[in-house]
Every structure is written in structure tokens, then in C-alpha cells.
């Protein structure tokens, strides 16, 4: 089991959508986060945005796995996360190969946040049954785990070599309790919720730990997509402490920005006011 002392990491979301998802901006933002000492950067996943859902992005989204492969070559140290990869959208073996490739070429820096999806129009565009998304996600997660466990894998009755086979990246399951918690304990290393209120997170985190204990597994990570008040350092610091106290182990700051200058301004604020708080918690 994990130490009772709070331990927490800090990452930042990149806008892999909209006008900010151009080559120069996304590289410069990732390099800025890396140079300031953040633990990781995270990208989003949409594959077919309907016109009615395009506000804020214009319908422009980069593929998350291709984006992380690109950033793997542009960075040296920083972790590279999907927040989250929608599992039912992609065939399991092709997904496993993509994940293994990014993990291999990044020097094992990948962080695999996954989800079952929700946007009905996107399932329609892909010709997929939205009602089957939970079962499809479970099948992909089970297959991913098999791929990273052995060089020889079987799919559809055919045995084959799964190479390269680097260390499996940590997997974090997004979504709400109770289904995401059960899925996280069964197939993954932790839970990836969204939110900012420690009181709303305390009960599901306790449930997650109870499920893991009952399964004979260590306490899972809790990777939280959230946002910090960049204009109020004291409140941001208090937020970190409160979230750590209820069991959050990894924070990802998300927020809109217009360009590299705005992104750098945001992460410099985080580096000055929030990152030292997480590092101090890790020394206790």
C-alpha cells in the first residue's frame, strides 16, 4: 500500500484542438512545461465533432496518439498523457501497437488515460453502438494488458508477436463512480476523474481504495483533471492541500489559452505558486 503521507504530481493540459493545435504552438507549449519542471502534459481525444458540438474547437482535433508520438521526439523528460483516449473508437490491436510505439520511442514516458466515451454523434459517425461502449472498453483494456504481459499474444484465434514490448504505461480510467472505479481496479493503475471539490471526491476515492484492498491490490493512483485559480495563490495552495488530503495523487491543470504567450503566462504562475506546494508535500 502507498505511504500515508500525501504525494502528488502536477501536470498541465495542452490544447490539441482548435487553432492552438498547430505544430509550432503545441511544441512550444510542451517545451515550456518541460523547462519549468512539470511532471507531464496531456492531450484530449475527439475523432468526429458534429457541427453543433464544435464551439471552442471549430471541429479541429489532433489525434492524441499521433500527437504524443510527435511530442516524444520534441521533448526529453516530460511525461506524455492522454486525457482521455476513448477506447471504443479504435480497434484493440491497432491501439495496442500505437501505445507500445509511443511508449517505446518516448523512452517509456507515456501515461495512458482512457475512457468509454459519451458523445452520441461521434459514435454515430463511427458507426458504433454507443450502448456497447463499456463492454468494448473492457475488452480493449484486457487485451492491452495481455499484449504488455508477453511477447506472444493471440487475437481472433491467431498467435503473433507483439514487439516492441516496452514496459506497459500506467493506465488511468476516466469516468464516474461506480463503473469507472471497478474498471480501474480490474484493469488499470488508477482513476482519472474531473473536478475541483475535495468533498465530492472523498467518498469515491474511499470506495476506490476499498475495492482495491478487497482485490488484494495497492491503493490506486487518483489523477485529477482540474483547474487552479491562477490569480489567487493562497487559494490555489489550499486547493492542492485539500485534494491531497482526500487522496488525489496527481493533478492536471486544464484551461483555455489563446497562444504560446498566454500558455507560458499560465504555467509560469503554476510553477511559481502551485508546483512548490506539490514538491513540499512530497518531502513530508
Q: What is the pLDDT of residues 190-219, one digit of tens each?
A: 999 999 999 999 999 999 999 999 999 999
Nearest to 29 by CA among 251, 254, 267: 267
Contact by Cβ (8 Å): 228, 268: no
Pairing label, strands 171-174, 158-161: unpaired
Which CATH number do you get for residue 205? 3.20.20.30
Looking at the domain assignment, is residue 232 inside a domain? yes
Looking at the domain assignment, is residue 173 inside a domain? yes
- Grid cell at residue 53: 458540438
pLDDT for residue 7: 75
Looking at the domain assignment, is residue 2 inside a domain? no
Expressed as residue numbers, the domain containing 190 is 9-283
- Give the total number of structural domains in the chain: 1
pLDDT for residue 277: 97
Query: pLDDT category, 104, cuts 50, 70, 90?
Result: very high
Looking at the domain assignment, is residue 77 inside a domain? yes
DSSP type of residue 213? H
DSSP SS3 for 10? strand
Query: How crowded is residue 152: how many other Cβ atoms within 10 Å of its Cβ?
Result: 10
Task: Please state the pTM of the whole predicted model.
Answer: 0.96
User: Is the pLDDT higher at 61 or at 6?
Assistant: 61
User: What's the whole-number mean pLDDT along residues 34-61?
Assistant: 96
Contact by Cβ (8 Å): 105, 69: yes
pLDDT for residue 1: 35
Looking at the domain assignment, is residue 96 inside a domain? yes
What is the spatial distance between Cα 65 and Cα 86, in angstroms, rounded to a whole number?
Answer: 11
**Helical residues (DSSP H) of the chain, grouped into ranges:** 23-35, 64-74, 92-105, 120-126, 133-147, 179-187, 198-214, 233-245, 260-273, 275-283
Looking at the domain assignment, is residue 241 inside a domain? yes
DSSP SS3 for 162? coil
Contacts of 42 (CB under 8 A, 6+ apart): 11, 12, 13, 14, 81, 82, 83, 111, 113, 225, 252, 254
Query: Would you say residue 2 has pLDDT above 80?
Result: no
- The tens digit of pLDDT for each residue in 174-188 reads 999 999 999 999 999
What is the spatial distance between Cα 95 and Cα 80, in angstroms, rounded to a whole number?
Answer: 16
Worst-scoring range by mean pLDDT, 6-15, 149-158, 207-216? Answer: 6-15
Looking at the domain assignment, is residue 1 inside a domain? no
Nearest to 229 by CA among 276, 265, 269: 269
Q: Which residue has the cell 504562475?
A: 269
Query: Would you say residue 132 has pLDDT above 90?
Result: yes
Burial 111-129 (b: 16+ CB within 10 A, else e): bbbbbbbebeebbeebeee
Looking at the domain assignment, is residue 31 inside a domain? yes
Amino acid at each position: 500500500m502507498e505511504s500515508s503521507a500525501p504525494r502528488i504530481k502536477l501536470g498541465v493540459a495542452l490544447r490539441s484542438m482548435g487553432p492552438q493545435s498547430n505544430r509550432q504552438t503545441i511544441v512550444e507549449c510542451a517545451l515550456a512545461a518541460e523547462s519549468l519542471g512539470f511532471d507531464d502534459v496531456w492531450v484530449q481525444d475527439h475523432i468526429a465533432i458534429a457541427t453543433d458540438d464544435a464551439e471552442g474547437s471549430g471541429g479541429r482535433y489532433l489525434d492524441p496518439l499521433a500527437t504524443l508520438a510527435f511530442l516524444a521526439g520534441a521533448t526529453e523528460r516530460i511525461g506524455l498523457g492522454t486525457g482521455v483516449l476513448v477506447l471504443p473508437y479504435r480497434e484493440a490491436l491497432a491501439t495496442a501497437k500505437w501505445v507500445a510505439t509511443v511508449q517505446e520511442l518516448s523512452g517509456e514516458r507515456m501515461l495512458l488515460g482512457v475512457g468509454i466515451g459519451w458523445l452520441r454523434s461521434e459514435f454515430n459517425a463511427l458507426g458504433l453502438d454507443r450502448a456497447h461502449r463499456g463492454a468494448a472498453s473492457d475488452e480493449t483494456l484486457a487485451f492491452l494488458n495481455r499484449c504488455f504481459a508477453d511477447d506472444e499474444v493471440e487475437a481472433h484465434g491467431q498467435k503473433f508477436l507483439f514487439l516492441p514490448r516496452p514496459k506497459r504505461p500506467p493506465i488511468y480510467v476516466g469516468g464516474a463512480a461506480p463503473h469507472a472505479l471497478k474498471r480501474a481496479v480490474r484493469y488499470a493503475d488508477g482513476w482519472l476523474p474531473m473536478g475541483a471539490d475535495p468533498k465530492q471526491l472523498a467518498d469515491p476515492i474511499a470506495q476506490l481504495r476499498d475495492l482495491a484492498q478487497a482485490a488484494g491490490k495497492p491503493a490506486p493512483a487518483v489523477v485529477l483533471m482540474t483547474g487552479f485559480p491562477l490569480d489567487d495563490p493562497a487559494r490555489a495552495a489550499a486547493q492542492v492541500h485539500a485534494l491531497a488530503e482526500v487522496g488525489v495523487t496527481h493533478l492536471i491543470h486544464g484551461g483555455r489559452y489563446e497562444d504560446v504567450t498566454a500558455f507560458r503566462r499560465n504555467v509560469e504562475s503554476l510553477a511559481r505558486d502551485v508546483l512548490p506546494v506539490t514538491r513540499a508535500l512530497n518531502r513530508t
